[in-house]
Amino acid sequence: MINFEEELLKFHPSLEVEEVEDAIYNQDLTDMSDLFVKMVKEVTNEE
């Protein structure tokens, strides 16, 4: 039988998850609206 109290004492959150979270939030990601604006600017500059 699993002793949940004992297992909880062994638990340590993964540092990788926190590192990934920081990397995602601190990165400037391009979204679809940014791509659309860039495409419109390129098309209007060509004309």
Copy the structure tokens of residue 46: 């060509």
State the pLDDT at residue 9: 93
In degrees, rounded to 5, the angle at the alpha carbon of residue 38 between the alpha carbons of residues 32 and 40 is 105
pLDDT at 20 (0 to 100): 80
Question: Which tens digit of pLDDT belongs to each residue from 14-37?
Answer: 768 778 888 777 777 778 888 899
More confident residue, 31 or 41: 41
Tokens of 29: 């990601």
| CA 4 – CA 6 distance, rounded (Å) | 5
Closest CA to 40 of 24, 1, 32: 32
Q: Where are the domains of the chain?
A: 14-46
